[in-house]
A and B are shown apart, each in its own frame.
Chain A
Amino acid sequence: MNRYFIKIINLLLILGAIYIYNNTLENRVKAEEIARLSAELESANNQLDEYEKFFDVEKTDGNIVESDYVDGKYEGSAKGYGGDITVEVTIKNGSMTDLRIVSAPNEDGAYLKMASSIVKDILKEQSSSVDTVSGATYSSTGIRDATKNALENAKKNKE
């Protein structure tokens, strides 16, 4: 058979395989998410019942954790792939509420876009010790280190 058609068939097979793979995973992730959420809900309900029974606590608005950081906006920078990356961290009520990339003049578009997914990890973990983005290691390391740098500036007891 002609090689042109063989290539077309191969390509279609690969695309089909990726599609099936993604679909299977999506279904699995959904099922897991549902199971996890319902388990969480149940345990949370149980816990709430217990607390109310034993301690009869009043509800606070949650800011009981003592934070190391002073509220405000802080900039920090670190070396990325092609030069310095500068980020701005916003600390509100002692926790990181926003992380913005202020400037990254020498990073490549697609890489920076990929690396930016580290921002939500950092905000979720409330820490700069998160894994870098594979494939965009240099740029994401830059964002991470710049955040670390900014958090240093935000510390209460600076030495």
Chain B
Amino acid sequence: MKEMTPLKKRKIHAGVRAGIQLMFFILMPSAFTTAFAGVKYIFVQLGNREPIEFNAFIKVLSVLLVYTAVFGRFFCGYACAFGSLGDAVRALYMSICKKMKKKPVAINETMNKLFIYVKYLVLLMIVFVSYKGMATSTKGMSPWDVFSMLRAGNIEMGAYIIGTVLLVLILIGMAICERFFCRFLCPMGAVFTLIPSIPYLSLRRTRTNCINGCSACKRVCPCNIELSDVSSIEISGECIQCGKCRGICPKQNVKRTLVPQNFELCFTIIRAAILVAILIWAGL
């Protein structure tokens, strides 16, 4: 087979990713809320002093956490309907900027180091509300509920003013900063970040091979991650496995230890297939 140019390869990867995202968006749009319903359920039960049963929510949650422990946050990058929605909004914004010959708004990345902890606050707040049994009084405040109901075609916006406003703000954020919600606010993302994932299946780089002063991987990364060196088994919990760093590296220096370089596309499709299979098994 003829060797493709790096640009062509990147385009193919981007296309495959968009296709997988679209498929999950159509087939399993509620996976992310179901998993998070599992987290909330645990704290509701703790608050009521009742046992935590292995119910439908917990099953989906456990399946996703185990998957994340193996493959990293592939779910976030490829399967989460909310993340995909954000990517779509972002793509739309970028194409509008291009058409109007305007420079897209850039976010100051130095603040990121602090902002990424906001999602733990969001998680703590929701968990506290669940624990205290106040979940019913916060009905209509969740932007996820509004999104899910819109998606399901059940539109009664009147009761969800706060949720609707938050959803609009989040979408604006997603447009001007890639994966804004996922990086800074997503409570499920906060849970995923705390899961240890096997480093040998994730992307790392051989730092000694890097071109001095090149930070292409970090700049292309939607999560602004400083890639780990192959000598470290610690990979960033922020990584959503999008694989952009791998495509951009001028020295093909970003690799998975256990996956051959030219097997990447297959690996992506295999991961997606496994995810579909286990989510169906979990009852979605």
Chain A interface residue count, CB cutoff 8 Å, equals 29
Interface centre among A8, A25, A114 (most CB of B within 10 A): A114
Interface residues of B in 218-245 (CB under 8 A from A): 232-235, 237
Chain B residues near A82 (CB-CB < 8 A): 149, 152-154
Interface-lining segment among B51-59, B118-126, B163-171, B182-190: B51-59
Contact assessment for B52 and A7 in the assembled complex, using a CB-CB cutoff below 8 Å: no
- How many whole Å from B39's CB to the nearest CB in chain A? 10
CB of A63 within 8 A of chain B? no
Chain A residues near B149 (CB-CB < 8 A): 81-82
Chain B residues near A114 (CB-CB < 8 A): 37, 55-57
Contact assessment for B51 and A7 in the assembled complex, using a CB-CB cutoff below 8 Å: no
Contact assessment for B194 and A10 in the assembled complex, using a CB-CB cutoff below 8 Å: yes
Contact assessment for B44 and A22 in the assembled complex, using a CB-CB cutoff below 8 Å: no
What is the total of A-B residue contacts with beta carbons within 8 Å?
Answer: 86
CB of B46 within 8 A of chain A? yes
CB of A83 within 8 A of chain B? yes
Contact assessment for A4 and B234 in the assembled complex, using a CB-CB cutoff below 8 Å: yes
Chain A residues near B57 (CB-CB < 8 A): 110, 114, 135
- How many whole Å from A107's CB to the nearest CB in chain B? 9
Q: Mark A88-110, 1 if CB is under 8 A from B, else 0.
A: 00000000000000000010111
- How many whole Å from B258's CB to the nearest CB in chain A? 16
Contact assessment for A22 and B52 in the assembled complex, using a CB-CB cutoff below 8 Å: yes
Chain A residues near B252 (CB-CB < 8 A): none
Contact assessment for A134 and B51 in the assembled complex, using a CB-CB cutoff below 8 Å: no
CB of A73 within 8 A of chain B? no
CB of A153 within 8 A of chain B? no
CB of B283 within 8 A of chain A? yes
Chain B residues near A113 (CB-CB < 8 A): 55-56, 283
Chain A residues near B34 (CB-CB < 8 A): 108, 110-111
Contact assessment for B194 and A111 in the assembled complex, using a CB-CB cutoff below 8 Å: no
Contact assessment for A83 and B52 in the assembled complex, using a CB-CB cutoff below 8 Å: no
Chain B residues near A55 (CB-CB < 8 A): none
CB of B40 within 8 A of chain A? yes
Show 9 residue pairs from A and B whose CB-CB distance is below 8 angstroms, ordered by the A residue.
Answer: A3-B234, A4-B196, A22-B51, A82-B153, A83-B153, A83-B154, A110-B30, A110-B57, A134-B41
